[in-house]
Chains A and B, each alone.
Chain A
């Protein structure tokens, strides 16, 4: 465990909110990014990342230090996001794929959750990627965010998701393949944004 984190966790356990504040400052961007990439909007990202920190604080006594505090925290964040996705899925019967903005057009459903700032940015490639991330299943989204945004190892992901290493490999491959298929529907946009040479076929 990170020595600094170790001390901060110990102090936080005894109710030292200043110590926990330091942990928050240290990891808030990563946690918020995880939440945002997972959920695709700032409102949920703010709520869920705060919820993740609160749950972490309340559960500090159960943190044994077997993993790093960061891994433990990310796991909590992932669980919080996954719980929310599942909850939302009970109320949104429409497939998330149907909420995606269509190539070359607007989609009111997809835009509904965006802030004005987000709406202005929606033609940007990063936003397209984000929306396609949101179109993935919860499991695929989670594993992609963990691996390709947070850079967690397969082992850490397996630990966080309570699954085997083999499952991580196969699930991550499927997630990336699915995302690739969706994003390549925007090849023109990608090429414009990345100024890549056009590809034939």
Chain B
């Protein structure tokens, strides 16, 4: 065997991985050939240098930084997958059907009753009694101006408000004041901590009462059911004259957020409107703050007496979606009880009404002039 052929075997020879006969051949050659012996010794030295390179320890914060990154991730795909092993196509199909049904029904209000879907479906709870309790507080009585009722067809913010008594988790009730923040319809609503809040929010089924139909309530923060427009618990329709409409809108947005509410701005360009959703308890405060923004008039074309403490009547035995902010996948999470029936039954029966919650939400629609 020639020297260059021996050289080809140096590496494996060094590792002792040659066949014994070949290993012996190389050994004999190295004993006889000084040049190859030097070559091999050099190679062995270099390999030794590499092998003796010290371990390199990562920075002290390596694990902590990694942990925080992992925590920011959603559960591993495997973990999520195991929630519905082998049923993803069915789950996605079900989610898509929700989107189609509620989305179409919402965009086409006349269709909703035929489909057995409550227009209030979406994120909001039903306001059961729109005429009870209280009258509107007139913040500024100057020049009330009538509005064409057709203007009231504007989209309004859907809200998630009440905790149903059947929900054992007290956190849910505590989150009521923040519920509007969960609305994707509120562009100013923060999205962080959405998942945890969603997880704690009650699943619900909304009873439409007078319509005689009941729809599966949707989900705070859930994308799929967000397509359903809301018929909000409108309590006040205001017209505001402001020099700087943009600034006024920002002020009102801030007021809403400070008071635990949220604001929806119509997507249409050139529409100077806001839909403010706030907890009932903050209604007076918010109205007072809005009055400071500009010259406020009450739109008389709304209900002559607007209730002061609209109560929602959510129920709890429904299914709600849980939006995965990372993946964009909206998964359906079964409630503790009766999940199979709920998952399979899109037209939820109306035997699921629930007692009234303690604090409702108020919706104030504002038009800027």
Question: A183 near B: Cβ within 8 Å?
Answer: yes
**Given the known A-B contacts A14-B79, A28-B63, A50-B69, are A36 and B56 also in contact in the complex, defined by CB atoms under 8 Å?**
yes
The docked-state distance in angstroms from the alpha carbon of A190 to that of B78 is: 50
Question: A167 near B: Cβ within 8 Å?
Answer: no
Contact of A149 among B8, B42, B53 (CB under 8 A): B53
Interface size range of chain A in the complex: 35 or more
Binds A, one of B44-52, B104-112, B151-159, B339-347: B44-52
The docked-state distance in angstroms from the alpha carbon of A130 to that of B7 is: 24
CB–CB A37/B53 < 8 A:
yes
Question: B77 near A: Cβ within 8 Å?
Answer: yes
B40 to chain A: closest residue by CB: A180
CB–CB A29/B71 < 8 A:
no
Within the complex, the shortest CB–CB distance from A126 to chain B, in Å, comes to 5
Chain B 111-137 interface 0/1 with A at a Cβ cutoff of 8 Å (1 = within): 000000000000000000000000000
Q: Which residues of A contact B75 (CB under 8 A)?
A: 15
Contact of B12 among A29, A61, A173 (CB under 8 A): A173
CB–CB B79/A13 < 8 A:
yes
CB–CB A54/B69 < 8 A:
yes
Q: Which residues of A contact B53 (CB under 8 A)?
A: 37, 126, 129-130, 149
Q: Which residues of A contact B17 (CB under 8 A)?
A: 154, 169
A182 to chain B: closest residue by CB: B46
CB–CB B78/A61 < 8 A:
yes
Residue of B12, B46, B63, B77 ringed by the most chain A CB atoms within 10 A: B46
Chain A 51-65 interface 0/1 with B at a Cβ cutoff of 8 Å (1 = within): 001100111111000
Q: List 22 A-B contacts (CB under 8 A).
A: A13-B76, A21-B67, A28-B58, A28-B62, A29-B57, A33-B55, A33-B56, A50-B65, A54-B66, A54-B69, A60-B76, A129-B50, A144-B50, A148-B51, A149-B53, A151-B51, A154-B15, A172-B12, A176-B43, A177-B43, A180-B43, A190-B45
Question: B368 near A: Cβ within 8 Å?
Answer: no
Question: B59 near A: Cβ within 8 Å?
Answer: yes
Question: B10 near A: Cβ within 8 Å?
Answer: yes
The docked-state distance in angstroms from the alpha carbon of A151 to that of B52 is: 11
Contacting residues of chain B (62-91) with chain A, CB-CB under 8 angstroms: 62-63, 65-67, 69-71, 73, 75-79, 81-82
CB–CB A29/B55 < 8 A:
yes
Minimum-distance CB pairs A-B, first 3: A61-B78, A173-B11, A32-B58
B82 to chain A: closest residue by CB: A14
Question: A92 near B: Cβ within 8 Å?
Answer: no
Within the complex, the shortest CB–CB distance from A157 to chain B, in Å, comes to 11
Q: Which residues of B contact A49 (CB under 8 A)?
A: 58, 62
Contact of A172 among B11, B45, B63, B78 (CB under 8 A): B11
Contacting residues of chain B (1-27) with chain A, CB-CB under 8 angstroms: 7-12, 14-15, 17
Question: A76 near B: Cβ within 8 Å?
Answer: no
A201 to chain B: closest residue by CB: B38
Question: A87 near B: Cβ within 8 Å?
Answer: no
CB–CB B50/A179 < 8 A:
yes
7 more A-B residue pairs beyond the given contacts A169-B12, A183-B49, with a C-beta to C-beta distance below 8 A: A24-B66, A32-B56, A129-B50, A151-B51, A170-B8, A173-B12, A190-B49
Chain A 23-37 interface 0/1 with B at a Cβ cutoff of 8 Å (1 = within): 011001110110011
Question: B328 near A: Cβ within 8 Å?
Answer: no
Q: Which residues of B contact A21 (CB under 8 A)?
A: 63, 67
Question: A17 near B: Cβ within 8 Å?
Answer: yes
B42 to chain A: closest residue by CB: A180
Residue of B17, B49, B69 ringed by the most chain A CB atoms within 10 A: B49
Q: Which residues of A contact B210 (CB under 8 A)?
A: none
The docked-state distance in angstroms from the alpha carbon of A176 to that of B15 is: 12
Contact of A61 among B7, B70, B81 (CB under 8 A): B81
Question: A109 near B: Cβ within 8 Å?
Answer: no
Q: Which residues of A contact B304 (CB under 8 A)?
A: none
The docked-state distance in angstroms from the alpha carbon of A147 to that of B55 is: 14
CB–CB B57/A50 < 8 A:
no
Within the complex, the shortest CB–CB distance from A148 to chain B, in Å, comes to 4
The docked-state distance in angstroms from the alpha carbon of A29 to that of B63 is: 11
CB–CB B46/A176 < 8 A:
yes
Question: A184 near B: Cβ within 8 Å?
Answer: yes
The docked-state distance in angstroms from the alpha carbon of A145 to that of B150 is: 74
Question: A133 near B: Cβ within 8 Å?
Answer: yes
